[in-house]
Amino acid sequence: MRQAETAVQPARERILDTAFRLFYAHGPRGVGVDTVIAESGVAKATLYKHFPRKDELVLAYLDKVDQTWFGQLRAAARDAGDDPRAQLVGMFDALASAARRDGYHGCAFINTAAESETGSDVHARTVEHKRVVRAWVTDLARRAGATDPDVLARQLTMLIDGGLSVGVLDADPAAARAAKSAARALVDASCRD
């Protein structure tokens, strides 16, 4: 970011943008508050004014990731057309786009959940994100005529999560195509004509 843009951007947004970049690349546990302060160019008091605890900054980061990723999933589904069956398969285009980005490190929610304590606010937020995405997919599956929308939604969201992980491990764009192909087979087998 250029110096002039940094000066104009409100401190809270600078902090959050910096945390977003660093937490995604290194995990929230791997980034200290002092690093966020130094890289965002704010005073320690300013960071703590906006985020009194590091967990509050991590939760704000997860909210930002949620808006971005869930927005990409919904946009990919909409781009597939009006048919819910096509949308269930089309949402996998978001997976392909995500895995092609520079600095791709997989699912921020899975990564954060893996390093957070079960029962903490941060862990609960990761679980909530996955629950909301699955509820949205369940609704699409219901509208698509799935014989068991809950099961199809669980299968498809597991496939998305697996695709996000394989995208990191293999760094192979074919993984997203394979996930989309598997999604099409699941939707075809689960939905009435």
Match 């192909």 to its residue by tokens: 181
What is the DSSP code (8-state) at residue 24? H
- In 98-190, DSSP assigns E strands to none
Bridge partner residues of 146 (DSSP): 191
CA 157 distance to own-chain centroid: 12
Comparing CA positions, the residue from 164, 178, 171, 104 lying closest to residue 130 is 164
In the prediction, which pLDDT does 174 show?
82
- Counting residues of the chain whose pLDDT is more than 70, the rounded percentage is 95
In the prediction, which pLDDT does 8 show?
65
Q: Is 146 helix (H, G, I), strand (E, B) or coil?
A: strand
In the prediction, which pLDDT does 192 show?
77
Torsion angle in degrees (nearest 10) through CA of 122, 157, 85, 192: -130
User: φ and ψ at 150, to 5 degrees?
Assistant: -65, -45
C-alpha pair distances (Å), 47 with each of 51, 53, 54, 55, 57: 6, 9, 9, 12, 9
pLDDT tens, per residue, the chain with 193 residues? 444 444 567 999 999 999 999 999 999 999 999 999 999 999 999 999 999 999 999 999 999 999 999 999 999 999 999 999 999 999 999 998 888 777 888 899 999 999 999 999 999 999 999 999 999 999 999 999 999 999 999 999 999 999 988 877 877 778 889 999 999 999 999 997 6
CA 174 distance to own-chain centroid: 20
Segment 48-70, tens digit of pLDDT: 999 999 999 999 999 999 999 99
* Calpha distance 98→188 (Å, rounded): 25
Comparing CA positions, the residue from 106, 87, 85 lying closest to residue 176 is 106
Give the tokens for residue 42: 């704010």
In the prediction, which pLDDT does 9 show?
78
In the prediction, which pLDDT does 20 show?
95
* Calpha distance 166→181 (Å, rounded): 15
